Amino acid sequence: MEAILKNPYIKTPKNFDFSKIKEALAGSGRRFCAGVFGDSVLRGVIFDEKAGGYRMHRGRFAEVKDRFHLDVENNSRFGFTVERGAALIRKTVSKENHPEFVFLEYGSNDCNFDWEKVAAHPDGEHSPVTPAETFCRVYSELVDYVLECGSMPIVVLPTPIDSEKFLSWICRRGLSKENILHWLGGTEMIYRWQEYYSGLCERVALEKSCLVMDLRTPFLIRHDYDELLCADGMHPTEKGHSIIDETFARFWERLAIGASS
């Protein structure tokens, strides 16, 4: 158990029951299912500067499928918020038909703003796509629903954002950077605001005694951080997506250790 607690990418509530994970990873011969619900980051989206558009990272979850006898269904969608994700999950997951594990990764689209309105009215008040109170309520209800269906929810902390790249990206078609900065109070507010929503995810997980998988820390501790996020400041590069793949593998590896102790 000490090994799992020392792993910085996994956070477990006190007295967490590993029995279900132990069953799933015991090598019973049958494959188990994990449903992944999130946004374009977990989908594997990359912004290709040379092509001037988006493409997909290949091989998402390939390693964990082979090593841990898992069938992974990736239901992540571009632009999805927690409310859109909740609607999809309620259509996809039920008591009669549910995966053993459900990964939830939301927050980065929820904390975004209508930057055109911000640029036009830099002295006004602007609300994020999903206000914090609504975000916590919907996320909490979503975790309850997943539990009621019989699945184990795993809350995923979103990858970080690059403030400078993101600001340049949203202003690339003529929005006033000066006005947006006036409203923000500084470029780093972009990072801090997204970090705040990551904290809300963790708060919900702790309140519900859920496992937490931290995708944020593996990025932040890297000296080559600038190489991990695309020109839009949001989506990981190939190198960044490789870190996500590695983190998922380490996550399951550590769960296996916890389940066997």
Mean predicted confidence (pLDDT) in 19-25: 64
For the packed helices 188-207 and 163-170, what is the interaxial angle rounded to 10 degrees? 110
* Residues 169-196 pLDDT 10s: 999 999 999 999 999 999 999 999 999 9
When divided into structural domains, the chain yields a total of 1
Cβ-count burial of 33 within 10 angstroms (0-12 exposed, 13-18 middle, 19+ buried)? Answer: middle
- Is the confidence at residue 24, as pLDDT, over 90? no
Share the mean pLDDT of the chain: 91
For residue 30, the model assigns a pLDDT of 64
For residue 254, the model assigns a pLDDT of 80
CATH number of the domain where residue 58 is located: 3.40.50.1110
* Residues 220-255 pLDDT 10s: 999 999 999 999 999 999 999 999 999 999 988 887
For residue 4, the model assigns a pLDDT of 41
Global confidence as pTM: 0.91
* Residues 100-154 pLDDT 10s: 999 999 999 999 999 999 999 999 999 999 999 999 999 999 999 999 999 999 9
Residue 158 domain boundaries: 2-260
